[in-house]
Amino acid sequence: DAKTTQPTSMDCAEGRAANLPCNHSTISGNEYVYWYRQIHSQGPQYIIHGLKNNETNEMASLIITEDRKSSTLILPHATLRDTAVYYCIVRVSYNTDKLIFGTGTRLQVFP
């Protein structure tokens, strides 16, 4: 699986959009970008994934650059409950291999 690089921490005001970047310059053509988050002491939670097109679901939007070397997770209206560590993981989809978690980005949403 390709290596990813994320900022260690970010802050965001409540109600504003939180934009979390991820670099994955060595991504392969068949690898997807996955995002998970871990709210303090809880199990990781799947957020969204994509291959090359932008994706949106009820939780977030995922913007992948045309060259696929980076992506941005967008939480459109961050709330205090979105405070968590966010992990960007690149891997082949439809694959049952293990997920490898990096250090992620610690997002702090403040009032």
Partner 1 sequence: NAGVMQNPRHLVRRRGQEARLRCSPMKGHSHVYWYRQLPEEGLKFMVYLQKENIIDESGMPKERFSAEFPKEGPSILRIQQVVRGDSAAYFCASSPESGGAGGYTFGSGTRLTVV
**Least gap, CB of 15 to partner 1 (angstroms):** 27
Q: Should residue 40 be labelled a site residue for partner 1 when binding is judged by CB under 8 A?
A: no
- State the amino acid at position 25 in one-letter form: S
Give the contact letters, 42-81, x = binds to partner 1 (CB under 8 A), - = no: xxxxxx-x--------------------------------
**Least gap, CB of 40 to partner 1 (angstroms):** 11
Q: What tokens appear for 42 in the block?
A: 């809880």
Cα 8 from Cα 1, distance rounded (Å) = 21
Q: What tokens appear for 15 in the block?
A: 């109600």
**Least gap, CB of 91 to partner 1 (angstroms):** 8
User: Which residue of 8, 66, 97, 111 would you call a contact of partner 1, by CB under 8 A?
Assistant: 97
Stretches 1-9, 13-21, 71-79, 88-96: which one binds partner 1 (CB under 8 A)? 88-96
Burial 58-96 (b: 16+ CB within 10 A, else e): eebbbbbeeebebbbbbbeebeeebbbbbbbbbbeeeee
Residue 10 has phi, psi (to 5 degrees) of -150, 155
Count of residues in contact with partner 1, rule CB under 8 A: 23
